[in-house]
Amino acid sequence: MTQIVQMKGMNKYFGKLHVLKDIDLSVEQGEVVVIIGASGSGKSTLIRCVNGLEEFESGHLEVDGQALAPKGGNQSTLATIRKEVGMVFQQFNLFPHLTVKKNIMLAPQKVKDTPKTVANANADRLLERVGIASQADKYPSHLSGGQQQRVAIARALAMEPRLMLFDEPTSALDPEMIGEVLDVMRELAKEGMTMMVVTHEMGFAREVADRVIYIHEGKIVEEGKPSDVFDNPQNERTQAFLSRVLAH
pTM attached to this predicted model: 0.94
Residue 73 pLDDT: 60
Gap between the Cα atoms of 233 and 239, Å rounded: 6
CATH architecture assignment, domain 3-95+163-246: 3-Layer(aba) Sandwich (3.40)
Q: Confirm if 83 and 158 have CB atoms less than 8 A apart.
A: no
Q: Confirm if 165 and 47 have CB atoms less than 8 A apart.
A: yes
Phi first, then psi: give them for residue 204, nearest 5 degrees.
Answer: -65, -45
Long-range CB pairs of 208-211 (<8 Å, 24+ gap) are 208/32, 208/34, 209/32, 209/33, 209/34, 210/31, 210/32, 210/33, 211/31, 211/32, 211/33, 211/34
Gap between the Cα atoms of 219 and 242, Å rounded: 17
Domain boundaries, the chain: 3-95+163-246
Q: What angle do CA 45, 7, 224 make, to 5 degrees?
A: 85
Digits of tens for pLDDT over the chain (248 positions)?
Answer: 789 999 999 999 999 999 999 999 999 999 999 999 999 999 999 999 999 899 999 999 999 999 988 876 667 788 888 889 999 998 889 999 999 999 999 999 998 899 999 999 999 999 999 999 999 999 999 999 999 999 999 999 999 999 999 999 999 888 889 999 999 999 999 999 999 999 999 999 999 999 999 999 999 999 999 999 999 999 999 999 999 988 76
- Three-state SS string over 60-106 comes to EEEECCEEECCCCCCHHHHHHHHHHEEEECCCCCCCCCCCHHHHHHH
Residue 219 pLDDT: 97
Q: What is the H or E stretch that residue 146 is in?
A: helix 145-157
